[in-house]
């Protein structure tokens, strides 16, 4: 058991098919660092009741007043996140599935496994899995420390 205040290493194996160019990438293994004596937990924010989300990492950033949070999200077929914002940037990658990403003020994106996306701070957006299987996204957030990771908003006007 690690000493108090030390980080514990853990391994999360995910059996998610990943249609990448190499056979070695048929599934991936993510090494994660968590707080002592804990395992990955769902983030405590507005989206926790809508999607299956697992917080992989959470730590202070070298940017003053910011923290970095990495989350693996599973979106069942036909389910959407609901319009929401984050108090900082979201840098995301579609691990599996096909996801429609509506971002206020931009054309809706259809993202497939292997595609990345960026959401600017406090920009309303909505993700919806369009099948045929569940969508899996890996998102890294660079957000204001001490703020909820996500907050629901209404659908923006003119959308």
The domain total for the chain is 1
Evaluate whether residue 16 is within a structural domain. Answer: no
Question: What is the distance between the alpha carbons of residues 101 and 91, in angstroms, rounded to a whole number?
Answer: 13
Evaluate whether residue 87 is within a structural domain. Answer: yes
Domain extent, residue 114, equals 39-148
Evaluate whether residue 97 is within a structural domain. Answer: yes
Residue from 6, 33, 50, 48 nearest 148 by CA? 48
| Residues found in the chain | 159
Evaluate whether residue 70 is within a structural domain. Answer: yes
In this predicted model, what pLDDT tens digit does every residue of 42-75 receive, in sequence order? 555 556 566 899 999 999 999 999 999 999 999 9
* Three-state secondary-structure class, residue 25: helix
Evaluate whether residue 112 is within a structural domain. Answer: yes
The pLDDT tens digits along the chain (159 residues) read 444 443 333 333 334 444 433 333 333 333 333 333 344 555 555 565 668 999 999 999 999 999 999 999 999 999 999 999 999 999 999 999 999 999 999 999 999 999 999 999 999 999 999 999 999 999 999 999 999 999 999 888 865
13 strand-pairing partners: 29
Is 16 within 8 Å of 27 (Cβ atoms)? yes
Its pTM surpasses 0.85: no
Evaluate whether residue 154 is within a structural domain. Answer: no
User: Edge-to-edge, what's the strand order for the sheet holding 88-96?
Assistant: 52-60, 66-75, 135-144, 88-96, 116-119
Residue 131: give its domain's CATH number.
2.60.120.10
Sign of CA dihedral 39, 129, 106, 18: positive
């Amino acid at each position: 058991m690690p000493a108090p205040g030390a980080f514990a290493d853990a391994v999360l194996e995910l059996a998610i098919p990943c249609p990448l160019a190499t056979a070695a990438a048929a599934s991936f293994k993510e090494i994660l660092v968590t707080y002592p004596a804990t395992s990955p937990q769902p983030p405590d924010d507005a989206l926790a009741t809508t999607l299956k989300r697992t917080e992989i990492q959470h730590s202070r950033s070298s940017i003053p007043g910011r923290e970095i949070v990495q989350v693996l999200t599973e979106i069942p077929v036909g389910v959407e996140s609901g319009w929401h914002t984050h108090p900082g940037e979201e840098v995301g990658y579609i691990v599996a599935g096909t996801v429609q990403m509506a971002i206020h003020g931009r054309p809706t994106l259809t993202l497939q496994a292997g595609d990345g996306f960026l959401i600017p701070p406090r920009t309303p957006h909505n993700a919806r899995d369009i099948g045929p299987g569940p969508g899996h996204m890996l998102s890294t957030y660079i957000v204001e420390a001490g703020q909820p990771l996500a907050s629901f908003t209404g659908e923006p006007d003119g959308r």
